[in-house]
Chain A
Amino acid sequence: MEIIEKIKTNKSNDNLTEIQKICLHKLQSCPLPNPKSELWRLSNKSKFSNFLDYSVNQKDSKFELPYPKNSQSTIRLIIGENYQIKLIEKNYSIQQLSEDELQKYIKEQISFFKQNENWSDLLNMSLSCKNNILGLKINGSKIPPIEIFSNASSNSLNAKTLVIFLEKNCDVELLQVNLGKENSSLSQSTFFCLKENSSVNHGVVSYGENRSNLLNSLNVIQQKNSAYNLGSLHFKFNYARFEISIKQTAGNAKTTIKGMQITKKDEQISTYTKIEFNGPNGFLDQINKSLADDKSHAIFEGSIIVPKIAQRTDASQLSRNLLLSNLAQIDTKPQLEIIADDVKCKHGATISQLNEEELFYMRTRGITLTEASKLQLSSYFQEIISFIPISKDRWDLLDKLLNEN
């Protein structure tokens, strides 16, 4: 809780940016999230305080990318490294946002923040210094896939912020990789702004190591006719929260989310999603899968908000959960809040273990129990993994997951 003490006492500091000052000021009145609120109720208190125990590290130690070597067809960026990005090609351009643009946008976002709901963002931005904010403006089409890395070094808390503007008619594939080192905490906030007719396939892969923690927040604003596809995977974190907030500002937009979290040992990983439709003809297709083994705890809370203006919204949300051990726990709470009457909204939730009949069938065909379970799990994982862009050919996520099982 060293951080909180610092926040409480840190009244003014000349080295801080304006945004840091605003966020610190907001946090000072309420330095910790309300543990009774729906969003934090199930969060493990000791794990959360462990997250805050590390001291803030604003410099990065260089890290070896554990993942495949960069190929020429992908653009790879690491948040925290000093770039001057200005890529202008025939079909597309990728440019760094100017400081003014960044500040203006973030300030605007902060004005909408609610203390409790956006606590993770407030913490992130009060800690994240200039170097650790990456802002990009992407324009055009036929853009090579982009990979963006965030990492936390051992025994420290790192805050990284990513802001992405997708200009009109832009179409891109982007994979975000959050890496947790041993005994580290990473606070990652991402802001996406999709302008009209733009579309993105966004992948988020968060992969921890021994006793690493993560607060991952994703804020997406979708303008008319934009399409936002998110494939996410969180695993191997001692404590991780993935908070997604998506706003369809004028309706007529399409959102698809396929997310998965895998918990083992005594890990706790939770996903919170809030999808707001602020215009008519919105579309949402969401599926969230959890797998909890050993003594772990997986949590999913998803809310869909359809105000009166959002007529003809078509939204569906499905939470599928596998509980593999007697000591593991799963909490799931899909929820609908609807005022518009001409809508189609549905949600579903299931919790079970591996299907015994299917296992039995495979075993009668001579497949061993271990192999049969692996096969079942691979089909369970496959639906999500195949939706994560870029990873398909290069990352072998499925192998990684299965071999750890």
Chain B
Amino acid sequence: MVNENLVKDVVKEPYKYGFVTDIETDKIEKGLNEDIIKLISQKKEEPKFLLDFRLKAFKKWKKMKEPDWATLGYKKIDYQDIIYYSAPKQKEKISSLDEVDPKLLETFDKLGIPLTEQKKLTNVAVDAVFDSVSIATTFREELAEHGVIFCSISEAVKNHADLIEKYLGTVVPASDNYFAALNSAVFSDGSFVYIPKGVTCPMDLSSYFRINSGDSGQFERTLIIAEESSSVSYLEGCTAPMFDTNTLHAAVVELVALDDASIKYSTVQNWYAGDEEGIGGIFNFVTKRGKCLGKRSKISWSQVETGSAITWKYPSCLLLGEESVGEFYSVALTNNLQQADTGTKMIHIGPKTKSTIVSKGISAGKSKNSYRGLVKMGTKATGSRNYSQCDSMLIGDQASANTFPYIKSQQPNSEIEHEASTCRISEDQLFYLQSRGIEFEEAVSMMVSGFCRDVFNQLPMEFAAEADKLLALKLEGSVG
């Protein structure tokens, strides 16, 4: 029998990103109304079309109801008790990283994010978002040589307004859902990526999101456009300090892939999850969607979800282009009182489209982990295929794992396969590993890592190593 106490002791690694950076910030007052939205827009010196976009979204949001279909239980969010804009005070224009407040650079250094340009060796361009604004983007010049645009979305609004106007809200319209509408009304910053025709992005692009302030929400928006025959790999990381209050994070990510383009979007989400009693933690309500507009285009989502008190996230693909491909690889780990309702949607619209879903859920402690997915074959999706696999692992007898796959087909000449299983850590395997001299906790972590292998294989190198470590740390002390 597994020694419960032993297991519980193993993993009590504190959340190491829980510190707060003491920095002067520019915050607006709490609450949400048209004036606040106008103020945000004004602070960001936005063109009229964007203000109209925000106000229209706000109007829709007011008429919408917060969704309650997910198997999540949380305190009602008071949307008037949130600060919708908070930014570190700094000089108006930054020409180089040297001018960024050293405290900010220090923060990102502490988080292990290479912002300083000396760390070129890592060969990852980073856009760092601190509360509501992007504070720095590295490797710009090198990227510009290839015609790649990688900047904060506020800058893109100023410098590439035509692209923003053309694509913003086309994948996730403001009326899509409650949180997308909220985001469309108040989004403050985020990243913008444009890969021109025929370009393979020379390095991985990365955004790092940091919530610092306890009472402000984070509403970032990411837009990635891959023109014909281009390709890009984009990484996203998130952390937040430990507060006793819940912070709202409602982001929107939109991806557009044209003919033969491919976008790989990887996330390691490690927002603060609250303490063992479930106090504090981030409420993470995210709408991520990719549109495979072109023929043979490909969008691949891979995610490792370990943080947040509440996760509500369904990265999806609209497969419009002929022979387009959608992929979703996910590991969701919940511990203590965390709740995750996550999964994907694969909407096959064009002919010969293909999608793959691999989802691994691990629930420990008293947490709730649900997979919710939709696979839909439209009437024109002839010769399309989907394969889904979702496995859950339960650690301890108080955690719960749910699987809700919705499958809908209107096309006889297409195939859908779905399989799901739920199990616990096998005692035979544990015993075997221990009999070979492997420590108990290491054995558990090896088995979890093996369970997630299919997904980790899809992550970019540096993320895969991080994910493995993260999972081991998160699980320590929870195996019973």
Using a CB–CB cutoff of 8 Å, the interface residues on chain A facing chain B are 308, 311, 321, 323-353
Contact = CB atoms under 8 A, between A and B. Distances in A.
28 contacts: A311-B397, A323-B409, A323-B410, A324-B412, A326-B379, A328-B410, A329-B410, A330-B407, A331-B407, A332-B407, A332-B408, A333-B407, A336-B403, A337-B402, A341-B395, A341-B396, A341-B399, A342-B424, A346-B421, A347-B419, A348-B420, A349-B416, A349-B417, A349-B418, A351-B409, A351-B415, A352-B416, A353-B413
B404 A333 contact: yes
Name the prevailing secondary structure of the A interface residues: strand
Contact of A325 (B405, B407, B412): B412
Interface of B: 377, 379, 392, 394-424
A350 B389 CA distance: 12
A235 B452 CA distance: 43
Given A338-B392, A340-B397, A343-B422, A352 B407 contact: no
Nearest to B418: A349
A347 B403 contact: yes
A337 B409 CA distance: 24
Contacts of A326: 379, 410-412
Contacts of B406: 331, 333
Contacts of B411: 323, 326
Contact of A334 (B405, B413, B423): B405
Nearest to A322: B412
Nearest to B394: A341
Given A336-B422, A346-B422, 18 more contacts: A308-B397, A323-B412, A326-B410, A331-B408, A332-B407, A332-B408, A334-B418, A335-B402, A341-B395, A343-B394, A343-B422, A345-B421, A347-B419, A348-B417, A349-B416, A350-B416, A351-B415, A352-B414
Nearest to B425: A341
Contacts, number: 111
A335 B341 CA distance: 14
Contact of B398 (A339, A342, A345): A339
Nearest to B395: A341
A133 B112 CA distance: 72
Which among B406, B410, B417, B423 has the highest number of chain A CB atoms within 10 Å? B410
A323 B424 CA distance: 35
Contacts of B415: 350-352
Contacts of A337: 400, 402
Nearest to B370: A337
B130 to A, nearest CB: 40
A345 B420 CA distance: 8
A373 to B, nearest CB: 13
Given A326-B379, A350-B417, A352-B415, A336 B401 contact: yes
B416 A351 contact: yes
A347 B412 contact: no
A101 to B, nearest CB: 38
Contacts of A339: 397-400
A348 B399 contact: no
A326 B379 CA distance: 7
A328 B418 CA distance: 20
Given A325-B412, A341-B396, A348 B418 contact: yes
A326 B396 CA distance: 47
Contacts of B400: 337-339
Contacts of A347: 403, 418-420
B364 to A, nearest CB: 10
Which among A329, A334, A338 has the highest number of chain B CB atoms within 10 Å? A338
Contacts of A338: 392, 394, 400-402, 422
A352 B396 CA distance: 38
Nearest to A328: B412
B444 to A, nearest CB: 14
Contacts of A311: 397
A335 B405 contact: yes
B403 A335 contact: yes
Nearest to A342: B424
A377 B399 CA distance: 43
A113 B68 CA distance: 23
A40 to B, nearest CB: 14
Contacts of A346: 419-422
Nearest to A297: B410
A346 to B, nearest CB: 4
A347 B417 CA distance: 11
B262 to A, nearest CB: 27
Contacts of B418: 334, 347-350
Contacts of B410: 323, 326, 328-329
A352 to B, nearest CB: 4
Contacts of A330: 407-409
